[in-house]
Amino acid sequence: MSLTLCMLLAACGGEDSGGAETAGSVVIAPGAGAGAVTPAAPPPAPTPAPAPAPAPAPTPSTSPAAATPAPGATPTPSPAPAPSAALENSFYVGNDPNQIGVVERWLARKPDAVQLHIGRAGWSDWRSSSGWMAGLFAGRGVDIRWSVPLIATGATLEQAAAGAYDEHYRDQARTLNRATPAGKKIPVRIGWEFNADWQPWAAIKNPEAYKGAFRKVVDIFRQETDRFEFEWTPNIGDHGMDPALAYPGDGYVDVIGMDFYYNTQWHPKDPEAAWIYMVNEKYGLAWHQQFAAARKKPTAYAEWGVDADTSGPFIKRAKQWFVTHKVQYHSYWDSNADFKGMLSNNQFPRAAQDFKEAFGN
């Protein structure tokens, strides 16, 4: 799959519970207790993007659907299932379906889902890569969560909002609908990490155009089927804009996500201090949970990872956070593509064991 390798990493924050976190507690409050260990905001580092995929076979073209009608005054969101007691474990494994077995042997359990990233090198890549990947992962016994670029490289948010790419969106909706077994939801994460400047769909210069493009995708996808479930996903941290400025509205969002990575090059070497920093930073995990709770939306973490063998305490904090906040799912970056976070290959044996104890059987 073709993706720009320029994503930055930041840290994450948590829900304001009114109590200070100590080394043994679960919920962390901004500015409290150990939160005093707050370094200056770390310089951004590349956020992982999937490695380019082999050239996929073109997706069969389909006839365009009827023109998109103007959306109603108050769109109704797709019904989102309530978070279950069991935490859904998803993984990014690149474009290699054999990695599902590697993860299964490592954790002694099969992943619940994989996170697949649709290509963005151009509209041809954007339209054809999803069908190619769906074929690769078909029959593997795991669900697919799709990360859908809001636009392809070279396109603009303004043109997307104006309807210039409607045909591409219709074609993608048909492809994903046909690739998903009957009766299953189709989770799609649209235009993630928009609140910085490294994505083609960065909203920082024109959040109104971003919102318009996001709504356009949702409107067109819903014309194909009501099985789609839409996730809105900022990157953790302050990258120059308030992510809320690009929120498309409750009627267009089913799940509110966030991406975060523990990068020891920028964050505190002490994993406990790093976790506290990520919870308490501006637009961190606390902000994320508060923003979603105010809108009565479930939350998720579609990308997260660690890059050191000493990350065990951070991994355990993440598990506690996911459970305490009843997140819909989390997706670990089990890859070395642009972020050295793979654990299933035992490059970080202690961290891999800590992850297994937290998330395995």
Residue listed under structure tokens 């501006």: 282
Buried b (16+ CB within 10 A) or exposed e, 110-143: ebbbbbbbbbbbebebbbbbbbbbbeebeeeebb
Q: Do 231 and 188 form a contact (C-beta atoms < 8 A)? A: yes
Q: What does the alpha-carbon distance between residue 151 and residue 157 come to, in Å, rounded to a whole number? A: 7
Identify whether 208 is a catalytic site residue. Answer: no
DSSP for 99-167, please give it.
HHHHHHHHHTS--SEEEEE---SSHHHHHHHHHHHHHHHTTSSSEEEEEE-SS-TT--HHHHHHTTTHH
Q: What does the alpha-carbon distance between residue 94 and residue 345 come to, in Å, rounded to a whole number? A: 14
Strands 88-92 and 329-333, bridge-based pairing: parallel
Alpha helices (H) along the chain: 99-107, 123-137, 157-162, 166-179, 207-224, 271-280, 285-294, 312-324, 349-359
Pick the closest to residue 130 from 221, 211, 210, 214 (CA basis): 221
Q: What does the alpha-carbon distance between residue 245 and residue 259 come to, in Å, rounded to a whole number? A: 18
Q: Do 215 and 282 form a contact (C-beta atoms < 8 A)? A: no
CA trace torsion 210, 212, 217, 223 (10° rounding): 170
Which member of 15, 224, 229, 303 is catalytic?
303
> How many other CB atoms are there within 10 angstroms of residue 269's CB atom?
10
Which member of 15, 21, 88, 193 is catalytic?
193
Identify whether 193 is a catalytic site residue. Answer: yes
Which residues are catalytic, by number? 193, 303
